[in-house]
Structure 1
Amino acid sequence: MTLTVRRIREDVADVLGEDPADIPDDENLVDYGLDSVRLMSLVERWRREHGADISFVDLAERPAIEAWAPLLGVRP
Structure 2
Amino acid sequence: MPDGTPAGLDLATLRADLADVTGERPEDIADDDDLRDLGLDSIRLMSLVETWRARGVKVELTDLVEIAPVPTLRSWAAHLAP
| Bigger proportion of residues as helix | 1
Aligned-residue sequence identity (percent) comes to 51
Q: Is the 8 A contact 1:43 1:56 kept in 2?
A: yes
Q: CA RMSD in A?
A: 1.5
| Bigger Rg, which one | 2
Q: Does residue 43 of structure 2 align to residue 43 of structure 1?
A: no
Q: How many residues align?
A: 73
TM-score normalised by structure 2 residue count: 0.79
Q: Is the 8 A contact 1:54 1:71 kept in 2?
A: no
1:66 is matched with: 74
- Structure 1 residues 12-40: Cα deviation after superposition (integer angstroms, max 9, x where no partner): 00000110011111121001110000001
Query: Which stretch has the larger CA shift, 25-34 or 56-65?
Result: 56-65
TM-score normalised by structure 1 residue count: 0.85
2:60 is matched with: 55
